Amino acid sequence: MDDRWNLMQDQPFSRLNARERAFAICNPDSFIELLCPRRKLTSPHLPPMGQTPQFDDGIVVGLGKAGKAPVVVVSQESRFVGGGVGEVHGTKMVMAIRLALRGQEILKSQYRSSEDSGQVALVISFDTGGVRLQEANAGLLAHSEVMDAFQAARGKVPIIGVIGGTVGCFGGMGFVASSVDVLIMSDVGRLGLTGPGVIEEVVGTEEFDAANRALVWRTTGGRHRFITRDADFIVEDTMKAFREKVSEVASWPLEKISSKRIIGTGDMVLEQMRLVELAANDKIQDSWDLWRQFGNEDIEHLWDSDVSEFAAHAQRWPRGRIGDCD
């Protein structure tokens, strides 16, 4: 067990599958999967369409420890229908959040809650295009259930999101990821609502050229999201980097974790309004226009520098003080 765990730590996070990520983001030998593939709880909707289901429906849910904190882990598998959210997939995610909340109550009431016993945290690894079209309606409803469960967990269970897979996090899961307390991304990870291909198709290539990889990454990639503070941390694309950051954050007091939120209060809406103001009337043509406004100068160098150098030197959105810069 430990050998496999050790081996995975040095692997690129982006190359591991959902189960490996869930297993290796926890302490060695601590991961217990719920509704594991042996249960064969598959989508009943795919076979009639001639499509092969998967025994976990493209999502791994389990319990583990991250450092001292008991964690509920959710990990989406983008290699199965693009990580799309269907009926089973969606309900597994909703239940994971509800069970984290229940776990927290049980921990506080029935187990010793000394300083170092920690608190239950929820960790979600997003790798999805959002709703699974084959089960579109159920997938859509599941998103609303997830958002409601997030609100129920507010002030009780900290939620840590990670985005480092090859699909990234798009569609409805984009707003789910923006509703977590702390979001950790890698260079590989991308976050958006409407995917580049869809914008190109609906609006046109002149609006967005989805074949332009550099454009796609500088619009939705981890570096840009770090600059706009949608991502709190940018880490190397290794399993170890993600695990260490998750463990670190999970050990923080709840108030400190919650303070990293970007939406979820009236004041935060006012902050976001100021950010939006910067883009009104076609003032922004490219994400780098925004970078410049935040005081970044040698942007190409910043873009090419390695992740730790980038994180150290990037000038980020001065949260809540946009008015001062205008």
Partner 1 sequence: MINFYGRGRDAIDLIVDEGSFQENLCGGERLDPEWAESALVGTARISGETVTVIANDAGFANPRFRMVYAGLMGLEEGLKMAHAVYLTIKADEDKPLAEKRPIILVVDTPGMSPGKVEEIIGIYKSTGAYQLASAEARRSGHPIVAMVIGRAISGGFLCHGLQADRILALSDTFGTMIHVMPLIGIARVTKINIVLLEELAESNPVFAAGVSHFYNLGGVDGIVEAVEDMRPCVEAQIAEIRRLKAGGEHDKVGPWSRLMSGIRRGGRKTSEKVIELMENEFDLALPCWLGGEDNGPTP
Write out the binding residues for partner 1, residues 33-92 only, by CB under 8 A.
34-35, 39, 41, 43-45, 48-51, 61, 63-64, 70, 87-88, 90-92
* Least distance CB 115 / partner 1 (angstroms): 11
Q: What whole-number distance in Å separates Cα of residue 269 and Cα of residue 286?
A: 23
| Residue ranges in 154-213 that form contacts with partner 1 under rule CB under 8 A | 154, 171-172, 174-179, 191-194, 198-199, 202-203, 207-208
Q: What whole-number distance in Å separates Cα of residue 279 and Cα of residue 275?
A: 7
- If one asks whether residue 323 binds partner 1 (CB under 8 A), the answer comes out as no
- Nearest Cα residue to 220 out of 281, 173, 265: 173
* Least distance CB 59 / partner 1 (angstroms): 11
* Least distance CB 274 / partner 1 (angstroms): 10
Q: Which is nearer to partner 1, 167 or 241 (CB)?
A: 167
| Residue ranges in 99-138 that form contacts with partner 1 under rule CB under 8 A | 99, 102-103, 106-107, 110-112, 116-117, 131, 133-138
β-strand pairing of 69-76 with 121-126: parallel
| Residue ranges in 266-285 that form contacts with partner 1 under rule CB under 8 A | 266, 268-270, 272-273, 275-276, 278-282, 284
- Nearest Cα residue to 189 out of 224, 240, 215, 152: 224
174-190 exposure pattern, b = at least 16 Cβ within 10 A, e = fewer: bebbbbbbbbbbbbbbb
Q: Which is nearer to partner 1, 35 or 241 (CB)?
A: 35
CA atoms 30, 65, 2, 16: torsion sign: positive
Q: What whole-number distance in Å separates Cα of residue 301 and Cα of residue 304?
A: 5
- If one asks whether residue 299 binds partner 1 (CB under 8 A), the answer comes out as no
Q: Which is nearer to partner 1, 169 or 249 (CB)?
A: 169
